[in-house]
Structures are given as structure tokens and as C-alpha cells.
Amino acid sequence: MSHVRIWVHAVFATKNRAPFLSNEIRKSVFNHIIKNCNKKGILIRNINGYVDHAHCLIALGKDQTISNVMNQIKGESSHWINQNKMVSEKFMWQDDYYAVSVCESQLERVAAYINNQEKHHAKRSFDDELEELIRKYGFEKGE
């Protein structure tokens, strides 16, 4: 029997970074994402974000890919948001996302970072945060 658990910190934004995720909507959406992940066998440890993006800490199992998991999370949640008319316009996530592996020894630190998104973004924009992540992990623009 294979035993696989690969932790991933994933970040994804609303289409055109529209600030649709007010506090109330954000909490409902993130609770829904957690329930949906549990139903689909996706191990999600943390999810949080700000008005225009979300961070989540997920573990990939042996039959999961980051692409499939992100499509499931983003696709199902955008459908649910629209079905429940949570925003006045059609809601969509951007196609792109950021994802990086996380060492088991760093899970608590990453989880704390995700949990503190509101406080973090009171001082810093999502664009600045994304630029730092791109620099820190050596991604090229457009990758």
C-alpha cells in the first residue's frame, strides 16, 4: 500500500482581482470549500484570504494532482457562489494560481501565515505579497 502526503500552499485570486470576498462572503465560501474538500477526499488543513484572493494548505494524496485539486476547489466554489447569488455579478476565479510545496516541519508557520491574512493585508497588498512569493521561490513572471 502506498502512503503519500505532499503538502502544498496554494494561492488563487478572483477574476481581475475583483474585491468580491467581503468578510461575510469569505467566511461562507471558505467553510463551503472545506466541506466540499472533505466530501471529495481532499485534505485541507487551512484556508483563509482577503477580499480578492485565497490561500489554502492542502495535502495531495497518491491519486491527486495539484491541477485536479485546484480545478475542483475553484470550479465547484465559483459555481456555488453563483448558484447562491452571493455577489451581484458573475463570480469567477482567475485561471492561474500559485502553488509551492511545504515541508512537514514548516506546517505550523505556513498555517499561521494563512490564518493571519486579514492582519497581513492591512499593511500589504496582494500584488506585493505575490511579488515576494515569486522572488522568494525563484519563479519567473509568466511561468
**CATH code for residues 6-135:** 3.30.70.1290
- What per-residue confidence (pLDDT) applies to 23? 93
The string of DSSP codes covering 63-99 is: T--HHHHHHHHHHHHHHHHHHTT-SSS---B-S--EE
- Domain spans in the chain, listed from the N-terminal domain onward: 6-135
Q: What is the pLDDT of residues 79-135, one digit of tens each?
A: 999 999 999 999 999 999 999 999 999 999 999 999 998 887 777 776 777 777 777
